[in-house]
Structures are given as structure tokens and as C-alpha cells.
Structure 1
């Protein structure tokens, strides 16, 4: 059984909490839209969101451990902590701890594959069916190589025909046996950054376990982008010069009813750039 883990940022760290809640609700509806209903969703939060959704598929957990400040984080990864943005380190540590707590609860439920999903992204409605049909004890999992990028309010998607896992975190489905649940009193980043380091996750799985994740054979997700993340993607979406205009034409895909149904893509009331 596949379990989707959603780590929700704190109200304090959100630029627009009402928007955060709307994006989260759309994400959860996208997950609930799975064709095969053999799955669970775990939402881990510090501040409980106001949601209109009720489903036995959705389990909500308040993260029970104290927030870690920058000075308390042992960033024991190859890049020096001092070279990284303070807010990024704190935010990723908070996210990683919530993800791993969700993984702990997913294992208790007997979920044998786990996928972290950012609280604003959308997924293909056949993910659960695919995992159910193709998963087994020896299969380490998959990564989403192909996906779409959506600029809120537009009527098109931007196709990402390869390397989606390098630009978006909602891209890995991992066998439970490969996920080591840490001591939650630990302050070491390495204990919590498995899913956070999505650009290197495939390499880590291979390095640590000599097992290779396989690419998902279809466009698996929609990355919701704004002017507040992935500025190079956002610049492309604006088509503000001739080069970007032709790139946009080549990679654009008009949003159809079929795509909306496949990913649960609907416009929300509020958005910002």
C-alpha cells in the first residue's frame, strides 16, 4: 500500500497562510482522486490547517517535538552550514523531521511504499494503481522523471520531459525498508534529509543499498511554481523575451478536462507572485 506524506510548514514561516490552506486542500483532493483507493495520506503539521475535507484516507498528526532553531541544528552534510541560507537550513530541517515522523506513522499502518508530497503539488491519479501492480519486496521504488509545471492562474502547463526529480521534491516513491526512522531527539540533518535531498536521493539509495530506483513510465506530477520559488522556471513562464517565448511554445500544453481530472487541477481563489 502506498502512503503519501505531506509536511506542512508552520503558520509563522508561511507568507500567506490562507493561500497555504487552499493549496494544501487542492493537494489533498488530488491525492484522494486516486483511481485505486488502496492508499493512505498522512499530514504532519505544527499549526493545524482549516480544511473542509473529511476522509478515512487522511490521517493528521501534530508534530510532537520542539522546533529547532538554526543554532541547534547539526548540519552534518557535505556543504558547510555557514555557506547556506539560514532560513533554508531551518525550513528544510523542519520539513525533513515532519517527513520522517510521517514515515514512522506510515510504517505502523503497514504501508510498504512511501512518497513525500509537497503541500502545494499535484499527482497523477494512477500512482496508487501503478505501485499496487508493480511493487514487491525487492523493488526499491521509482522516481518521477517526467512531469508538468503549473503557474497559478494560467491555462497551460509547462512540460518537463526529463529530470523532474532534480527540480521538485514530490518525485520519489521509496520502499519502506530503505527508510530508516531516526531518533527524533537528534539534531543531525543527515538523520532527516532523505527526501529533502531529492536531487541526490537516487544516488544515495544506490550508494547505501546498491539498489536503483526506476523512472516512472508516465508524467507523474504537477509542480506548482510561483515567483517565490525556482526563479529560472518562473522567468521561462513569463516569456519576456523571444528566446523564452519559443521555449514556452515548445513546452506548453493546454490544460484540458482530461488533465484536470488526471491531476485534480483546479484554480484556487487566491494566489500571489
Structure 2
């Protein structure tokens, strides 16, 4: 049991592709703070970023992996959405792959976007059930500042911080020289949407984590997803008029950021008002 570990992996975009790096760094500080709140010590975190990136200071539980990836010039999202996402998955997947190479095959890895929060009980839960192939996070929260969260019951469909996978699972997709193809890197490491499909195809018992596993920080200008804030999502006139049941459901799923949430996710108190 002592050899079992959960490896958190935070891929960080090329700093030259970000207009407001101070905002990214501030959110990364909160993500690091959240991960540091794990109730078990059987974890390590890898931060993958280009050389020269201004990163926050970290302790010995974190390893910074410096890479020399070229600037990822993303195509116009409005002209070719599939090409846009393909390029995002390629850049993210290659960064995650650099960290996976440092992980013991019998351990787990979890990709964490650099502006999200993770439940402090995740490591403890994972290392106690090490025979599983992994878990996906179906219960989680959306956050966009302020004192409220929005509960989401299909969390893995919207957020990249949503899969916990045994490292050895990747072995069946590697070539004879032990490498993943670029297509597999993009699907298995650069996206959160395909892991469940691959697990099910192989007959693995890939189940949902039985508690809210992460908080998805939305409505951030530097994010590639450009997801609307909670207020816009809940109180959108379009949703109120055309989707009244969604509106009511969103109202019922609003949650106050209380002391229990702060403890569960090692949430930074200074970032919210409640």
C-alpha cells in the first residue's frame, strides 16, 4: 500500500500564448494550494511548463518539468472548431505525456487543469482501492468567482479535471518501442472525453467517484474553453425563457461556499465572499 501513489499532472500552456499571465499564475497558485490539502501523503504533482515560465514557488511534493515546446498557434475557433480542439489536445497531451513518463506504471495519474480544485480525499480513496483501473468524476462543481458554486452531475462531460487512471492502462496502446502515437496522446492524455470510451471497450470496471471530486473554474478569460460564468449560465434570459426546467434545475443546484466546501477542496478563502 505504501508504494501506491496518485500523480497529479498540471499541464501549463506556453506563457507566450497567454495575454494575462498574472491571472494564470494566480489561478495556478490556488490549484497548487488545493492539491496541497490532500488528507493522504501518498501523492506527487508534476507541473509541465515551457522553460522561462514564471511559476509559483512549490514544495518538495511538486516537480516542475521544463519543456521546449513551440508556441501553439491555435487556429480560428469560429472557422474550424475541430482543428482548434485537435491543436489544443495535441499541446496538452504532449505536456501530460512528459509527466506520465516519470510515473511508476503501478500508480495512478490525474490530469488537473491549472485553474481547478480537487477534493482533499481523492488520494486517500484511490490508494485504498489500488486494484481498480481508475475512476471518473461525475459529481463536481462549477465556479466563476464570488461565494457560490453550481453542482454538476455530469462533470466528466464538461471538465478536463475528471479522470483518474492507472498508468499501466496506457501500455496496451504503446508501440513496440514503448511510445504512444500522437493520435493516442491526443485522445488519452490531451482530452478528458475519450478515456471512458477506451475503458469500456476494454471491459474495465471504470466507475464514477462516489463523491464530488473537483471544482471547475469557469468564466476565465485566459481559458481555452471560454466557458460562461455561473451567473450567465443560471440567469441567462435565453435559458429562462426557452429552457425553464434547466433554469429551475440550476437554481436548485446553487451551493454556498461554506466551511465544509473550503475544507473539502482546500479552497482559498481570499478568492470568495460569502
TM-score interval, normalised by the smaller of the two chains: 0.7 to 0.9
Alpha-carbon deviation of 1:53?
Answer: 3.1
149, 170, 178: which one pairs with 2:169? 178
Which of 107, 118, 122 is 1:123 aligned to? 118
Q: Distance in 2 between matches of 1:184 and 1:20?
A: 34
Secondary structure of 1:261's aligned partner: helix
- Which residue of structure 2 lines up, in the alignment, with residue 156 of structure 1? 148
1:224, distance to aligned residue in structure 2 (A) = 0.4
Unaligned runs of 5+ in 2: none
Q: TM-score, normalised by structure 1?
A: 0.81
Match of 1:212 in 2: 205
- State the SS of the aligned residue for 1:179: helix
Shift of 1:89: 2.8
Aligned mates of 2:220, 2:55 — CA distance in 1: 25
Q: Quick check: 2:34–2:117 contact (8 Å CA) kept in 1?
A: yes
How many pairs are equivalent?
A: 253
User: 1:121-146: per-residue Cα shift (whole Å, max 9, x none)?
Assistant: 1000000100111112xx11100010
Unaligned runs of 5+ in 1: 72-81
C-alpha distance in structure 2 between counterparts of 1:111 and 1:36, whole Å: 18
How far apart are 1:227 and its partner, in Å? Answer: 6.0
Q: Give the counterpart of 1:25 among 26, 29, 44.
A: 29
Out of 95, 99, 103, which is 1:98 matched to?
A: 95
Q: Alignment RMSD, CA only? A: 3.0
Deviations 1:5-32 (A, max 9, x none): 0000011222311100011111011101
- The change in CA–CA distance for 1:184 and 1:267 in structure 2 (over 3 A counts) is farther
TM-score by length of 2: 0.81
